[in-house]
Amino acid sequence: MVGRLSQLLDPSRITLRLQSSKRTAALNEVAKLLETHPLVVNFQGFYNELLARERLDATCLGNEIALPHARTEHVKKIVMAVGRSNQGVHFENCNQTVKLLFVLGTPKSNPTDYLMVVSSLCKVLKDAGNRAALMTAETPEAFIQALVDAEERLLAPIQATA
């Protein structure tokens, strides 16, 4: 089971300067960060399913964020890569400009972890301060730290009432 968003991230799976401004090219750029991930058993299969899912329905969450994802047999456990674009990537299927892309691959056999990760991401990203911290992080390590800090703030009220 996945406990924290930050546990899914590794600095090598985060790019803070996406080169592409077109949706498919940007998706490829972020997804490729997972190509050598030990939990991805078939990258091309995963990537094809990611594109198919993206064509099926827009994955924009609003607030310049997209969550392209695939439930697939091509990953052993949930994996995530992040891309940030200062100029923005146009997602024509939802007519939004996206600056943060969280690409997820999740095993078909485990929808619970996927739903927990999406729920946590949505809670963190709905806060403007958290989004600003992620947009201004200078390094992948600082990006992960901003996510850790946001998660800590979310968990603090829950622990206080326990």
Domain total for the chain?
1
Q: Does any domain span residue 3?
A: no
Q: What is the pLDDT confidence band of residue 2, given thresholds at 50, 70 and 90? A: low
Q: Does any domain span residue 1?
A: no
Give the CATH number for residue 61: 3.40.930.10
Cα–Cα dist 143/129, whole Å: 13
For the chain, list the strands marked E by DSSP.
14-15, 60-62, 65-66, 69-72, 79-91, 96-107
- 101-134: per-residue pLDDT in tens? 999 999 988 888 888 888 889 999 999 999 999 9
Give residue 5's pLDDT: 83
Give residue 55's pLDDT: 87
- Residue 22 is classified by DSSP as B
Q: Does any domain span residue 110?
A: yes
Q: Does any domain span residue 2?
A: no
Q: Does any domain span residue 142?
A: yes
Q: Does any domain span residue 116?
A: yes
Q: By residue range, what is the domain housing residue 156? A: 8-161
Q: Which residue has the tokens 């923005």?
A: 88
Q: Is the pLDDT of residue 92 over 80?
A: yes
Q: Does any domain span residue 55?
A: yes
For residues 8-31, average pLDDT: 95
Q: Does any domain span residue 65?
A: yes
